[in-house]
Amino acid sequence: MTDTTDATASLPPIAGTLLERMGIEISEVTPERAVGTMPVAGNTQPYGLLHGGASAVLAETLGSYAAQVHAGPGRAAVGIEISATHHRSARSGLVTGTATAVHLGRTLATYQVVLEDADGRRICTARLTCMVIDTDA
């Protein structure tokens, strides 16, 4: 099993990435779970509600980070499927996402990702599957 005692310290820099643009911050990453936040401000659709695509970006980010830690050195996790159900809207504050492993296999890792508002109300439930591939030649 991969040592993940300080996985957040080894995260790649986010400068210049979609994560930076959307204000996503990762606070916890293990193969079994990843947690992060994203502000609603700047990630809304024209009517002022949190954009569903922004929710999907947060969900895929969290699941992909956890899957990459699961994959370990010399392997990569690449998203192959995501679905999201949007339960309610958010107009302000932070959204917190928690990705929880559903399946951690040799070639596939699947996560359920729950996004909640500051009051703990479920905003979105997503499911992400990543394929784990070898990157060594």
In tens, the pLDDT along 61-75 reads: 999 999 999 999 999
In tens, the pLDDT along 17-58 reads: 999 999 999 999 999 999 999 999 999 999 999 999 999 999
pLDDT of 1: 47
C-alpha span between 76 and 115 (Å, rounded): 25
Average pLDDT over residues 112-125: 98
* Residue 11: pLDDT over 90: no
pTM of the predicted model as reported, rounded to 2 decimal places: 0.92
Average pLDDT over residues 93-118: 98
Domains and CATH numbers, the chain: 7-134 (3.10.129.10)
Q: Where are the beta strands (DSSP E) in the chain?
A: 25-29, 33-39, 75-86, 94-104, 108-116, 122-134
Phi and psi of 14, rounded to 5°?
-100, 0
* Residue 83: pLDDT over 60: yes
Instruction: Give the SS3 label for residue 108.
Output: strand
Cβ atoms 58, 98 nearer than 8 A: no
CA distances from 110 to 7, 21, 45, 69, 74 (A): 19, 26, 28, 13, 20
C-alpha span between 24 and 57 (Å, rounded): 9
Residue 37 forms beta bridges with which residues? 25, 96
Longest dimension (CA), the chain: 49
Residues belonging to the active site: 60
pLDDT of 122: 98
* Residue 99: pLDDT over 80: yes
